[in-house]
Amino acid sequence: MDDENKLQAEVISVYPDKIEVLIDKIEDYKYADNSLKVGSYLQIYDNENSIIIAVIENFSIIVNEKGDKLYKLQSRPLGILKGDNFIRGGDSIAIPPKTAEIATEESVKKIYMSNIEEKNKFVFSRLANLNNILVPVDGNKFFNKHIAIVGSTGSGKSNTIAKIIQKAVEEKNGDYNLNNSHVIIFDIHSEYKKAFPNATYIDINSLNLPYWLLNSEELEELFIDTEANDYNQRNILKEAIVKNKKFYSVEEKDKIHYDMPVFFDINEVVTYIENRNNEKNNKELNKVEWIDDGTKIHLEEKGEDILFKKNVQACNGTTTNTQNGRFINFLNRLENKINDKRYNFLLGEKSKSISFEETLKNLLGYKEENESNVIIFDLSGIPFEVLSITVSLISRIIFEYGYYYKRLKEIENSSDTASNDVPVLLVYEEAHKYVPKSDLSKFRASRNSIERIAKEGRKYGVTLLLSSQRPSEISETIFSQCNNFIAMRLTNPNDQNYVKKLLPDVMGGMIDKIQSLQAGEALIIGDSIVVPSLVKIEECINKPSSVDIPYFDLWKEKWKNIDFKKLEKEWHK
């Protein structure tokens, strides 16, 4: 080592989580062409011929009796280098340790390169203080466990997500067109189309989801004023849907239930509820009578399927013990939803005709004319009141795909240990929008679906990547299941404290830096990285379109006229 890189330093104290070093003339020491600073690496030799690698966290200035300035560096031990192997932890230091020096780049590289198999190395960042050193994570441990990316607006979250996914879809073991990666991005601000030009892009105009795949919770959230907790509305909706499913099903009728993913006709369900709302009772016969094409009928004689017909009318009688008039407001709500063009992607005619197989192929990127690794759901055009339901339905279908596909592989391989060989990563941009801590019923469906994936998805090859600028507002159940964290700059004190509580104590003073990180800098912590590290995320190839609008520059320009006719036409599509 060059003399200028040697620290004639004295180790003055050693703790399990701290090593203090005393030196003088600190300005004379160079570190990778820069002055020694907080975040620089030290290597400390002990009597066992091992090298302790430590990172400087803070320093203080001491003036001795002669008036000389001495510098006391407090460093956090990362681990021990023995030959080319790095062993995490620094609590086995021989006494007394020998000298302290600035760590060489070669020594620092060994930290990151020695503990991950070459085939598993996945790189998307460099050390913030040593740009020549790449920081790999273990690709398997990174993607098969849930990931959280947190940071304030402008910290670089979108670039980080894009870079990670771009690198993932590039990796191949051979020469072929597409690798086997499957990434689904819930893009709430329409940012990622530019970053993934070859992705399957699905927006409100091309999205087609079958409403008949909604489960009972999602159906009730969509059609019922759940805050009012109307028992009668829930009962009649369940009754109508189950009976209509039985009417159309080729399965055994007695096996049909509310949550079973089989077809029903939503318009016929409304007709059924309309007829029940108009029913009257014949007091003498104690039966509800109807007129079908001019003929009086009783339900037990002809069957309740007749109530799905439009031309059925109630006979004269009493409303005692009937549903007469109870569902007027409910019917108005149902009809408004079904006739609202904004909901055509979910309740339109195409939603009746699309098959389960076609739906699953679309969600997983298996469209023959455009197979792709990345599927982008542009949620920016989805009405906010059904955003949670939309995310819930897609998430739940993907989770159940993972469960049943794994079960199919076990049957084919006659084994209980077969795994999903087509794993999926679900990316939730601005996750606090649809999985908040809130107990409001409008978020219940998406929160339940995503919490289930967080708790059980890994077993079935479905993992999460959550991105948020407000981590303190996200369901704790979901965050507690994340094993890998990329923490970028956070300015909100509540978010800072929340993230600090989630991260391990071994972070030491590093975690206090999250309020002052530069754009693109991040702390990576978790099972996939050798030691918690401060890194600089590499720039992605095609950047997401998340550029801030230059208000002041635009306001200086000449007054711009707006074509309000075209705007209205687009608005009312």
The per-residue pLDDT for range 411-458, each reduced to its tens digit, is 888 777 678 889 999 999 988 887 887 776 677 888 889 999 999 999
Residue 49 lies in a domain: yes
Same domain, 290 and 404: no
Which range of residues forms the domain containing residue 482? 134-204+354-555
Residue 289 lies in a domain: yes
- Average pLDDT rounded to a whole number, residues 327-342: 90
Same domain, 168 and 293: no
**pLDDT for the residue numbered 33:** 53
Kindly report the backbone phi and psi dihedral angles of residue 306, in degrees, each rounded to the nearest multiple of 5, phi listed first: -60, -25
Same domain, 86 and 221: no
Same domain, 256 and 191: no
CA torsion through residues 73, 74, 80, 81, sign:
negative
Same domain, 167 and 225: no
Per residue in 244-262, pLDDT tens?
Answer: 998 888 777 788 999 998 9
- Average pLDDT rounded to a whole number, residues 228-256: 84
**pLDDT for the residue numbered 5:** 45
Given a cut of 90, whether residue 147 has pLDDT beyond it is yes
Query: Count of CB atoms within 10 A of residue 61's CB?
Result: 9
Bridge partners, residue 31, by sequence: 34
Same domain, 110 and 184: no
Bridge partners, residue 41, by sequence: 55
Query: Is residue 488 helix, strand or coil?
Result: coil
Residue 571 lies in a domain: no
Best CA proximity match to 497, nearest among 474, 514, 478 = 514
Same domain, 464 and 434: yes
Given a cut of 90, whether residue 486 has pLDDT beyond it is yes
Within 8 A by CB and 6+ apart from 507, the residues are: 523, 525, 532
CA atoms within 13 A on the CB side of 544: 24
Distance (Å, rounded) from C-alpha 570 to C-alpha 573? 5
Show the tokens assigned to 536.
């600089």
Residue 573 lies in a domain: no
Residue 238 lies in a domain: yes
Distance (Å, rounded) from C-alpha 189 to C-alpha 195? 13
Per residue in 39-81, pLDDT tens?
Answer: 888 888 876 677 888 888 888 888 877 877 888 888 888 888 8
Q: What is the DSSP letter of 288?
A: E
**pLDDT for the residue numbered 7:** 46
- Average pLDDT rounded to a whole number, residues 337-348: 91
Amino acid present at 95? I
Same domain, 433 and 543: yes
Residue 568 lies in a domain: no
Best CA proximity match to 537, nearest among 489, 469, 491 = 489
Same domain, 332 and 449: no
**pLDDT for the residue numbered 22:** 85
Instruction: Provide the whole-model pTM.
Output: 0.86
